[in-house]
Amino acid sequence: MSAAGSGGAAPSGAPLRVGVLASGGGTNLQALIDARDAGALGPARLVVVGSNVAGCGALDRARAAGLDTFVVEHRGHATREAFDRALVAELRARQVDLVVLAGFMRIVTAELLGAFPDRIVNIHPSLLPAFPGVHSQKQAFDYGVKMTGCTVHFVELGVDSGPIIAQAVVPVLEDDDAERLRLRILAEEHKLLPAVVRALAEGRVSREGRRVRVAKD
């Protein structure tokens, strides 16, 4: 997006076609499916789930929910760009409007970003810009912060660095360990991600530079 504009991709109530990319267990995908089933995704439609890991839990969850799926194995591609071009082809074939990275463990390139400008969001298990990258929950725990949480942000080139759409705070408790903390953050992720997808679908997200505003529903 340039200086200003809407981050929502659904003009005047049209359904927003959502493609989810995931590499792992897929509990965030499940939260989106559960929100859909509860009628809590607004005009967002989950249309496809793609993965780079054949046999991952996210694909099982997608199939169980009756969603279309695809696999693009990153090892089959010589470069990150070639891998991303294959993803773009799969997503475009389903006319996806919004790409949600939900535990997708690949660094995206300009190929994917250029195909879905301002239409890719990611969920990250820390209060960015603190603790980007992997094992963020343990990084935060080991650092000794008193508050951590999760972030949904637009994806740009650079790891976990795009404009922040929404965050949820999770306190670190005196008797925590890294795993308990991870699970409490995950529970917040499961609320935050569907809420952001709904807000995008309802056209309630606008952006000026790095500052993103989510209007109340």
CA distance 150 to 127: 5
How far is the C-alpha of 143 from the C-alpha of 152, rounded, in Å?
A: 22
Rounded Cα gap, residues 53 and 73, in angstroms: 6
CB of 59: closest distance to ligand GRF in angstroms? 11
Q: Select from 7-15, 108-116, 119-127, 198-206 the region that touches ligand GRF (CB under 6 A).
A: 119-127
Q: How far apart (Å, rounded) are the C-alpha atoms in residues 95 and 92?
A: 5
Comparing CB distances to ligand GRF, the nearer of 15 and 24 is: 24
Q: Is 42 in the site for ligand GRF (CB under 6 A)?
A: no
The yes or no reply on residue 103 touching ligand GRF (CB under 6 A) is yes
- Which of 14/183 has CB closer to ligand GRF? 183
**Nearer Cβ to ligand GRF (17/124):** 124
d(CA 142, CA 91): 38
Given 74, 124, 135, 153, the catalytic residue? 124
Q: What residues from 161 to 190 belong to the interface with ligand GRF (CB under 6 A)?
A: 186, 189
Q: What is the DSSP string of 179-200?
A: HHHHHHHHHHHHHHHHHHHHHH
Quick one: 10 or 152, whose CB is closer to ligand GRF? 152
Name the residue whose CB lies closest to ligand GRF: 103
132 binds ligand GRF (CB under 6 A): no
Among 17, 36, 61, 124, binds ligand GRF (CB under 6 A): 124
Q: Which stretch binds ligand GRF (CB under 6 A): 17-25, 107-115, 172-180, 200-208?
A: 17-25
109 binds ligand GRF (CB under 6 A): no
Task: For ligand GRF, give the closer residue by CB, 15 or 25.
Answer: 25
Question: Is 135 labeled as catalytic in the residue annotation?
Answer: no
Active site residues: 124
- Site residues (vs ligand GRF, CB under 6 A): 22, 24-28, 58, 102-103, 123-125, 186, 189
